[in-house]
Amino acid sequence: MIPYGRQTIDENDIKRVVKTLRSPWLTQGPAVLEFEKLLAKAGGVKYAVAVSSGTAALHLAYLAVGLKKGDEVITTPNTFAATANMLLAVGAKPVFCDIRLDTYNIDERKVERLITKRTRALAVVDFAGQPAEMKEIYRIAKKHKLLLIEDASHSLGASYRGRSVGSLADLTTLSFHPVKAIATGEGGAVLTNNKKLYETIKLLRSHGIFKDNRGKNVMVALGFNYRMSDIQAALGTSQLEKLDKFIRLRNQASKWYEEEFVGLEHIILPQTLPHNYSAWHIYVIRVKYPKLRDKLWRYLVKKGIGANFHYPAVYTHPYYQKLGYGKKKFRNEELYSQSCITLPLYPTLKRREVHFIASCLKEWFK
Ligand SMILES: *Cc1c(COP(=O)(O)O)cnc(C)c1O
């Protein structure tokens, strides 16, 4: 089976992890500090906090912003559920906004009309690795005194109008799950230039406990154990050194698909806006006749191709339905989520594999 995504681990990664296993530190220690320094640099920000997952990163980002019961946060339905789930976890209400049909990111032209007296923040996602329209979104956030959180789980290594993802929002969250740009097994991080938010996130990562000037542990906030281990961070550092190469290879594979699909009129190819450099987390096509989508998916799986769906609209999940979110809310999101299909894309995907996948698609449409 050709999976839709996978990690790229080499001997050097393995050596770095083994070296840590022989060191005195296994849990959060010097390797985490080193990884954080490199992460901040990659994102073009002052501070990075490494944590145990992308979900933990979102949870801490939302808590640091001070979200609480009754607060509303405008977000996208085209994302992994965790973006909205962690809003619910802190008691806030996700207010979904329709997406654009070219990038499948939140439609910045539809955000402002959703702002109410209760709105406290905007939480956007760089879908498939392409940054959302951050200049306009940042302008809206500042005009209404809202904090801006960017879930960049797909877009580490991408840039927007020449600026690295990481420096485009008040808080940027990352995931290092194996299908993402770099892997640490499980892992995530929050990036920011705001010292106060940084201090809060660090405190909440480890039980809300800090050492006072006499070396005593003092707990001042209700925190968690969301620490990353040095074992994971050693892998992260080794992976991060290869980030640019990984993203180049992902861009290359997306070009191969584009070449293969020239003239195939039954599908809509993904588009990248000219001012974006995408991290190409996933390769999503749309089927022009949505009724054919599930049949095509079953055929691809039978051929050994790990086609997937990213994503069903978050509000259609049973949990959200029970909370009273309606089923058919947005024109673009409905059309998108019924016609999308994800094809394999990762740094070591071969030219001939792309050719095989494209040939299967072409044959099926014939
Ligand atoms: C992967 C992902 C997450 C969650 O990250 P984990 O590390 O799996 O907890 C959150 N948001 C988006 C958009 C993701 O793709």
CATH number of the domain enclosing 253: 3.90.1150.10
296, pLDDT greater than 90 = yes
* The model's pTM: 0.98
99-108, 168-177, 182-191, 327-336: least confident range: 327-336
Task: Give the distance (Å) from ligand 1 centre to CA of residue 193.
Answer: 22
Q: Tell me, what's the pLDDT at 21?
A: 98
By the 8 A CB rule, do 244 and 157 touch?
A: yes
Domain that holds residue 314: 243-365
Final residue before a domain boundary, out of 223, 240, 257: 240
The confidence score (pLDDT) of residue 261 equals 97
What's the CA-to-centroid distance between 358 and ligand 1, angstroms? 28
Q: Residue type for 63, please? A: L
- By three-state DSSP, how is residue 154 classified? coil
Give residue 170's Cα distance to chain centre.
16
User: What would the mean pLDDT of 259-275 be, rounded to a whole number?
Assistant: 97
What's the length of the chain?
A: 366
Residues 140 and 280 in one domain: no
Residues 210 and 72 in one domain: yes
Given this model, what pLDDT does residue 347 score? 98
Please give the average per-residue pLDDT across 211-236, as a whole number: 97
Whether residue 77 contacts residue 332, with contact meaning beta carbons closer than 8 Å, is answered with no
Q: Does residue 2 sit within a domain?
A: no
Choosing from 205, 240, 275, the residue where a domain stops is 240
* Average of per-residue pLDDT across 242-259: 98
Two structure tokens written together for 205: 């990562």
Task: List strands edge to edge, sheet with 171-175.
Answer: 47-51, 188-192, 171-175, 147-151, 119-125, 72-75, 93-96
Rg (CA), the chain: 21
Residue 235 lies in a domain: yes
Reply yes or no on whether the pLDDT at 136 is more than 90. Answer: yes
Q: 89-119 in b/e burial notation, b at 16+ Cβ within 10 A?
A: ebebbbbbbbbbeebbbbbbeebeeebeeeb
* 289 and 252 fall within a common domain: yes
**52 ligand 1 Cβ < 6 A:** no
CA distances from 303 to 63, 295, 298, 300 (A): 45, 13, 9, 5
Tell whether 251 and 166 lie within a shared domain.
no
Provide the pLDDT for residue 67.
97
Same domain, 231 and 320: no
Residues 6+ apart with CB under 8 A from 227: 27, 28, 32, 51, 52, 205, 206
Rounded to 10°, the helix 82-89/54-65 angle is 40
Q: Of 240, 266, 298, at which residue does a domain stop?
A: 240
Rounded to whole angstroms, the Cα distance separating 344 from 352 reads 13
Can you tell me the mean pLDDT for 134-150?
Answer: 98
- Do residues 89 and 56 touch, judged by C-beta distance below 8 A? no
| 254 belongs to a structural domain | yes
d(CA 328, CA 331): 8
pLDDT tens digits, 298-342 = 999 999 999 999 999 999 999 999 999 987 779 999 999 999 999
The residue to which tokens 């058919």 are assigned: 328
User: Is the C-beta atom of 80 inside 6 A of ligand 1?
Assistant: yes
pLDDT at 332: 98
Q: What's residue 327's pLDDT?
A: 78
Scanning the chain, the segments in alpha helix (DSSP H) are 11-21, 30-43, 54-65, 82-89, 134-143, 195-205, 230-240, 243-260, 293-302, 318-322, 331-339, 351-365
| Secondary structure of residue 282 in the 3-state scheme | coil
Q: Which atom of ligand 1 is nearest to the CA of 180?
A: 1
Please state the rounded mean pLDDT for residues 260-281: 97
User: Ligand 1, closest atom to CA 175?
Assistant: 7
Q: How far is the CA of 152 from the centre of ligand 1 (A)?
A: 9
**What is the Å distance from ligand 1's center to 55 Cα?**
6
Of 6, 177, 282, the residue with max ligand 1 atoms within 8 A of its CB, to mutate for a pocket test, comes to 177
Distance CA 158, CA 151 (A): 13
Taking residue 147's Cβ as centre, other Cβ atoms within 10 Å add up to 22
Strands (E), 108-247: 119-125, 147-151, 159-160, 163-164, 171-175, 188-192, 209-211, 217-219
- Residue 168 belongs to a domain: yes
Whole-number Å distance, alpha carbon 174 to ligand 1 midpoint, is 8
% of the chain at pLDDT higher than 70:
100
Number of domains, the chain: 2
CA–CA separation, 112 and 130 (whole Å): 22
> The CATH number of the domain where 41 resides is what?
3.40.640.10
Kindly state whether residues 173 and 87 are assigned to the same domain: yes
In angstroms, the Cα distances linking 327 to 26, 67, 81, 85, 114 are 46, 26, 16, 17, 18
Q: Could you tell me which of 317, 327, 330, 337 has the C-alpha nearest to residue 88?
A: 317
28 and 147 within one domain = yes
